[in-house]
Amino acid sequence: MPVPAKRRSSSKGRRGRANKGLAKKTLAKCSKCGKPTMPHHVCPFCGNYQGKEIIKSKVKKKAGSKK
Ligand SMILES: [Zn+2]
């Protein structure tokens, strides 16, 4: 039975597998403000979803209250 010349240590194997679950999050663009948002979610920047304003955004208020 063949034996591997150099065995990978258990910690080295675990270290490699540690990043296996990391995946890039898919981002959609908001149709109104164009900022990246989570798909099927209300835009956190302008509060729009499918062309309707669902939540009155806090960002707008802050922008309006700027000195
Ligand atoms: Zn938006």
Q: What is the mean pLDDT of residues 53-58?
A: 75
Q: What is the mean pLDDT of residues 39-65?
A: 76
pLDDT tens for residues 4-50? 888 889 999 899 888 888 888 888 898 888 999 999 999 988 888 88
CB neighbours of 54 closer than 8 A, spacing ≥ 6?
42, 47, 48
3-state secondary structure of 49: strand
Q: What integer pLDDT is reported at residue 11 of this predicted model?
A: 93
Q: What integer pLDDT is reported at residue 36 of this predicted model?
A: 92
Looking at the DSSP assignment, which residues form a beta bridge with residue 48? 53
**Interval between CA 29 and ligand 1 midpoint (Å):** 8
Task: Please state, in angstroms and rounded to a whole number, the distance separating the CA atoms of residues 52 and 29.
Answer: 15
**Interval between CA 40 and ligand 1 midpoint (Å):** 12
Instruction: Identify whether the C-beta of residue 10 lies closer than 8 Å to the C-beta of residue 24.
Output: no
**Interval between CA 57 and ligand 1 midpoint (Å):** 9
Tokens, residue 11: 């910690």
